[in-house]
Amino acid sequence: MSKYKGSDSQPTPFDPAYTQLFSYPKMVRDLLVNFVKQPWVNDIDWDSLHTLSPKFVTKKLRKRESDIIWKAKWHDRDLYIILFLEFQSSVDRFMPVRILAYVNLLFLQLVKEGKITDKLPPVLPLVLYNGEKEWKAGVSMADLLHPDCPDALKPYQPEIQFFLLDEKRVPVSDDDISSDNLVAPIFALEQADQKNLYTTFLLLKRVLESSAEFADIAQAFIAYVTAVTRAEERDPSIKVKSLDEVEIMLSKKIDNWIAEGEARGEARGEARGEARGETRAQRAIALALLQKGLDKMLIAEATKLSVEEIEALAKDV
């Protein structure tokens, strides 16, 4: 899925939507605080966090569309955070070489523009990888250097390493998703299977609806989830604008999984599992949609409850 030509992956429709999510300062803060979890993170001046201008990044660093450079103040000094978003099915064992080249380009540009007059600023190269295969390759140049390198030459070899987050294997609990940490739901959605995709989204939806400050980020999540679903279903006609519509779309998707499972002779409800929670969960979903003012016929179609059951629930709204 990566645009990087060195991998065997191809771009997908959700790449831009995914990148958009990490264009928000809160997403970067949640990422560092909750998943990098190193003491120095606590000393970042979050109010100073901002991305470098597209002109600086694109023309001077030959940036891929999926890479984002953030800048912040740390102990009154500049700190650069480079997010490498890896949308690819295979592990790139030469990632340290790419990281080294990218960081060097950044430093060269800063020197050229006169923004460094003394020491180089600290940099965090952070790789977010969402491939199906576990990342087992090294994360430093030292992992790539030939073991037969003479000891006398080792001091002259390039050194750099990056911080890796293998999204499909990062531990995430329901409590993480239910908090205001908005990065945890991304990892949870990446890890979700047919049994918990729907409930994972419901937890995320509840958080996004809890505060008006999440309105813009909610739109980015809508674009992300919709793009992923559209890519899988190959249906460009899908037009989703609200979290409620995403919920209905995922509900229908789960019903499709159920139908596919039945066609293969699997027991009814296997695909739904925890995601639908059977009738009780369906009624809870229908009640929530009624409270949002959605049409009863549409709710009945989404939940597979009868119109009579929907009307009975409506009396409690």
Q: Are residues 27 and 141 in the same domain?
A: yes
Indicate the residue among 181, 200, 234 that finishes a domain. 181
Indicate the residue among 181, 199, 233 that finishes a domain. 181
In a domain, 222, yes or no: no
In a domain, 197, yes or no: no
Give the CA diameter of the chain. Answer: 82
Tens of pLDDT along the chain (317 residues) come to: 333 333 444 455 567 878 889 999 999 999 999 999 999 999 999 999 999 865 555 555 555 666 889 999 999 899 999 998 877 667 899 999 999 998 998 998 899 888 888 899 999 999 999 888 899 999 999 999 988 999 999 999 999 999 999 999 999 887 887 788 899 988 888 887 766 777 788 888 888 988 888 999 999 998 888 777 664 555 555 677 888 888 887 777 666 655 555 555 554 445 444 444 456 667 767 776 777 666 677 677 667 788 888 888 887 66
26: nearest Cα among 218, 167, 192: 218
Specify whether the CB–CB gap between 84 and 127 falls below 8 A: yes
The total number of structural domains in the chain stands at: 2
Assessment of whether the complete model's pTM goes beyond 0.85? no
Q: How many residues does the chain have?
A: 317
Q: Are residues 177 and 268 in the same domain?
A: no
DSSP string, 108-150: HHHHHTT--SSSPPPEEEEEEE--SS---S-SBGGGTS-TT--
In a domain, 189, yes or no: no
Q: Are residues 147 and 293 in the same domain?
A: no
Q: Are residues 171 and 272 in the same domain?
A: no
Look at the block and give the residue holding tokens 């990892």: 187
Domain hosting 22: range is 14-181
